Structure 1
Amino acid sequence: MTIKILADSACDLTDKETKQYNIDIVPLTVHLHGEDYEDGITISPKKVYEAMREGASTKTSQVSPQTFKTIFTSYAKKNQALVYLAFSSELSGTCQTAKMMANEVKEQYPDAQIHVLDTKCASLGYGLVVIRAAKLAQKGASVDEILEMATYHATHMEHIFTVDDLEYLYRGGRVSKTAAFVGSLLKIKPILHVDDGKLIPIEKIRGSKRILTRMIEIMAERGTDIQNQTIAISHGDDIERAEQLAALIKEKFGYKDIIIEMVGSVIGAHSGPGTIALFFLNDKNK
């Protein structure tokens, strides 16, 4: 029986991709206008960004313990192996909840093949790891092979991104109120990356024109084997700048195939409209 790959909605993969690679998605929750929505199911990123532009406050919450228990129990009962590749534990409690529920289910079903891996990744950086694992699963790879490959790709996945307004990162506790105020006042745009699952500032750029060029420079500095890997760009409802970044990559590296998707509702609720993120490996593609 083929090993099943499970991810959560913070991987920002589309229905087309999840169907193509036979990936199951469990949604996180977005809180907006006093209502709870299932990310990617009952709310779209576009709606979240439009609300944020109008001044609405957004919050998110992790997958519930009962949801994980129900999913894991269903696979345990039919004795099918399940690998859940989780959103970074540094950005959400979802992974820890999944591990707790996996252990609880295994108490009742000792032979259950339920595996949880903290990718320490987010958005399409996470999504690329999930796709790589799903491709292996479709080819009949073992659990150990899938976990080993997913760990390698997750460990070497670069997340280089910028946000249009520091206020959203301030609301999420990522920058101080002073930094957000001064940054907005001086039109300073941060470049950040993900290090061991955490959001870490790299540098600040004044004005938006230089941002994309600098992201390409960082890619050249950190990237390895760029022409032989899958590259992804995600954006906070700003397809024009995402396509500009893709064009720069093609011009610089001669690279043609780039995945471009919108940052999903959960991550977008914290990064805000205008976010641009670039994902690639800093070691050889496997």
Structure 2
Amino acid sequence: MPVVVVTDSSSRLPESVTEHYGIRQVPLHVTIEDKDYREGVDYIPEDVVSTPGVTTSGANPSELTEYFESALEASEGAGVVAVHMSRKLSGTWSSARLAAEKFSGQVRIVDSRSVGLAVGFTAIGAAQAAANGADRDRVYESAIRQAATVDSLLCVQQLDNLRQSGRISAAGRLFGSALSIKPILHMVDGTLQLKERHRTFSKALDKMVDAAVESAGGRAVTVGVQHCETPDVAAEVLATLRNRLRMVTSELTVDLGPILGSHVGPGSVGIVIASHLDPIEGLEES
């Protein structure tokens, strides 16, 4: 059996893709009025991203141990590679490291240094290597390479959620009190940093597309568009990217979901560019 890949629900991978590659997603948690919900498992109120006082948390060592045990059994000894969101944004990676200590090197942990579909694309890269017969160490190396090269950008419609979340780097001070500012954020070494800021959201979207095209550099790329409650805008962004990129090997559009959405707020739209993936299998036709 091939190496089994584990990730967390921040990866935003659709079920059809995780089923095809055998990727296992550990749920993250959101707490609303002292009630805990597991992302992707429990029903979570639709208005969570606009609800004040919502808190989120990563997977704990006990949960991760259960997933690792099950994945290792399914691999029939080939091993497990776990790809998680940036250690600078969540405690899940640290919990995974603690859980992995119980498995005598059979479980290797990857810090994706990102969040959202960038985590998902890294997990897919690992799973594709596993499907091609790579052993645990080579699957781990494939994930590390993917994590180092994937590019993730995000336009935020309003700043309240981002400010309250505390997930923005020191560059966030540049926002000041100008609520009309529409920032473009960029994942840099595991943290969200300010790339540009614009007066209108449409201008920010245009500049984000420009940055994504520049990142692709004329190569064949996998494109992800992620959004928070704005599917129509996401579709427009993807259509523009199709017209401007030289070659798109696969494309995927996903909602950011309750965990990530509660941090970046309604209206946010992001682009993820990956250049080392085979065409993604298991995608459902839209």
Deviations 1:110-131 (A, max 9, x none): 4x51111111121011111111
Matches within 5 A, 1:100-139: 100-103=98-101, 105-106=102-103, 110=104, 113-139=106-132
Identify which of 246, 257, 265 aligns with 2:258: 265
Structure 1 residues 81-90 or 139-148, which shifts more? 139-148
Q: 1:253 to 1:80 in 2, by over 3 A?
A: closer
Alpha-carbon separation, structure 2, partners of 1:175 and 1:284? 28
Please tell me whether the aligned partners of residues 30 and 39 of structure 1 are also in contact (alpha carbons under 8 angstroms): yes
Structure 1 residues 148-157 or 71-80, which shifts more? 71-80
Helix, strand or coil at the partner of 2:56: strand
Alpha-carbon separation, structure 2, partners of 1:148 and 1:97? 21
Paired letter, 1:128: F
Name structure 2 gaps, 5 residues minimum. Answer: 279-286
1:69 deviates by 2.3
Please tell me whether the aligned partners of residues 216 and 245 of structure 2 are also in contact (alpha carbons under 8 angstroms): no
Paired letter, 2:61: P
Identity %: 25
Paired letter, 1:60: T
Please tell me whether the aligned partners of residues 192 and 202 of structure 1 are also in contact (alpha carbons under 8 angstroms): yes
Paired letter, 1:40: G
Identify which of 85, 88, 99 aligns with 1:87: 85
Q: Which residue of 1 aligns with 2:239?
A: 247
Q: Which residue of 2 aligns with 1:51?
A: 48
Name structure 1 gaps, 5 residues minimum. Answer: none
1:217 deviates by 1.3
Identify which of 152, 171, 193 aligns with 2:164: 171
Matches within 5 A, 1:221-232: 221-226=214-219, 228-232=220-224
Deviations 1:178-217 (A, max 9, x none): 8667232xx2100011111101101111011212210121
Please tell me whether the aligned partners of residues 4 and 72 of structure 2 are also in contact (alpha carbons under 8 angstroms): no
Q: Say yes or no: does 1:65 pair with 2:61.
A: yes
Paired letter, 1:182: S
Please tell me whether the aligned partners of residues 225 and 284 of structure 1 are also in contact (alpha carbons under 8 angstroms): no
1:267 deviates by 1.2
Q: Which residue of 1 aligns with 2:210?
A: 217
TM-score (normalizing by structure 1):
0.87
